[in-house]
Structure 1
């Protein structure tokens, strides 16, 4: 009787596998093949975007995607998982979120734009096409993705079940449980201001998924091999979810963004962690020497709206720009040499 029961269980499992052999009509928009990065984006409009994606009311600036193609994780992504660049899915997530406007900086994209300019330069392009200089949009920020952990099979479930039951039944249960695949991934995103080189934000995201991967351990390699494509693709879905989690974390942090500031000299002025025996940055600067607070006090005395607190915050930078404009200087918003020289007169 017991032998008959196990035979029926095996037959039922085999029937589940064989249902995959059924021929079906082509499905467009199949939910089984989707990742969390789904739908489309066109300008500020989206279609069928994931409800889990965080969004912004208006863009925070322009961004370009920068992948380190020499990194070990990138090699595994392309060669082992056979997945496309992470920048492809991040482009979709970023545009759908409306938090940044994506600009093209990939090697292939830049070559395509150069090709059009070369055609224009050859004189063969139709008149009025206007591919001249001065039209490219600057990339305010650079977003860099990185996979920091990826496990395609945490395993261990089947062996534990088989050990608890023991005997012939334990072996069969271990074979079935051994096809339970747990896929895990952890990803990071960093956002850097391209003008100053300052890291604006960094975030980590993770995802995991457990599924019943197949019956190859019970019915032989042929049955298991038929599901191999799905097993490989599933890891890509987990990686996509990890990147969406990282991006959502970044967006939530940026909603309450407040620029970091170093009191005294400001960013790039030497910092507050002084080195023993080193001269203060204000004493090594060529030309006029003046601390940030002193410069602020000069500007306040000249009638500009700011607070002399020794910090280069947004209010101070706006006042510096106004002063630079009035003096006919480049409006950088920084206390550069030319600005300090003018304030010292």
Structure 2
């Protein structure tokens, strides 16, 4: 068979496969049984566009989001998948939830703040600009994300269906389905108290999606900034759903939060003793 497959034929075969009962719904993002994507907006306590985000009646405190940019998962996220930092996505979910008030601690934001202060100190800003000290809001808590990537080849299923169809269409189905991969991601987010360093909550989320090799790449490109890549690429959609799953689970747990207590006080020896 010719190594080159006409793009129209690929679309035809893809349609045939999706229309086959065994493949129906395979391209859907799965998050707790619901389709989900990163969308909407938030301003203060007002949020629109994403009904799947768990909400809080009032904020629990101020929050900063920190990413370990030296970790292997971060390199895969930004270099291989060419997606924006996960913090961009999490900031949207956090503000839409109204569970925390975000304080910006990114390098770019800190540079912008320092630049304005330098202009104030140089006398270039207007009188009354009020960029003096003592105005920045402390972050009560920090949220740290991690990603575990996974991909499995499921082309054998498409090959079996191709055999059932037979003929040219069956051959095309087998060829295209040879690149069928199940993209999976699990995300872990950890919340800790900045004053004591005590971990408050940890939550894991998962999501999966089937992708016909690079074919879905024809229908969208990755985004270099914002959250664009999380809304129009297969990898991004899987990750956005997994992060939403983990964040929603954390919010549910925090609604019933009860502080852990240690007899004698935290960090004062504990109750596990050692022999003489």
For the residue of structure 2 that corresponds to 1:68, the secondary structure is: coil
The aligned runs of 1:67-216 (5 Å cut-off) are 67-151=67-151, 155-162=155-162, 171-211=171-211
**Corresponding residue number in structure 2 for 1:271:** 270
TM-score scaled by length of structure 2: 0.78
Determine if the alignment matches structure 1 residue 42 to structure 2 residue 14. Answer: no
For the residue of structure 1 that corresponds to 2:210, the secondary structure is: strand
CA, structure 1 residues 154+200, in 2 after alignment: closer, same or farther (shift >3 Å)? farther
Larger Rg: 1
List alignment gaps of at least 5 residues for structure 1. Answer: 1-9, 18-33, 216-223, 278-345
Query: How big is the shift at 1:102?
Result: 0.5
Q: Matches of 1:41 and 1:15 in 2, distance apart?
A: 37
For the residue of structure 1 that corresponds to 2:108, the secondary structure is: helix
Q: Matches of 1:128 and 1:138 in 2, distance apart?
A: 24
CA RMSD of aligned residues (A): 3.1
Query: How big is the shift at 1:107?
Result: 1.2
Q: Which structure shows the bigger proportion of residues in strand conformation? A: 2
- Contact 1:53–1:93 (Cα < 8 Å) also in 2: yes
**Corresponding residue number in structure 1 for 2:55:** 55
How many pairs were matched up?
243
CA, structure 1 residues 173+94, in 2 after alignment: closer, same or farther (shift >3 Å)? same
List alignment gaps of at least 5 residues for structure 2. Answer: 1-5, 14-34, 223-228
Q: Matches of 2:236 and 2:162 in 1, distance apart?
A: 30
- Contact 1:64–1:139 (Cα < 8 Å) also in 2: yes
- Contact 1:36–1:237 (Cα < 8 Å) also in 2: yes
Greater relative contact order (Cα 8 A, min sep 6): structure 1 or 2?
2
Query: How big is the shift at 1:273?
Result: 1.6
Q: Matches of 1:94 and 1:45 in 2, distance apart?
A: 12
- Contact 1:155–1:182 (Cα < 8 Å) also in 2: no
CA, structure 1 residues 166+36, in 2 after alignment: closer, same or farther (shift >3 Å)? closer
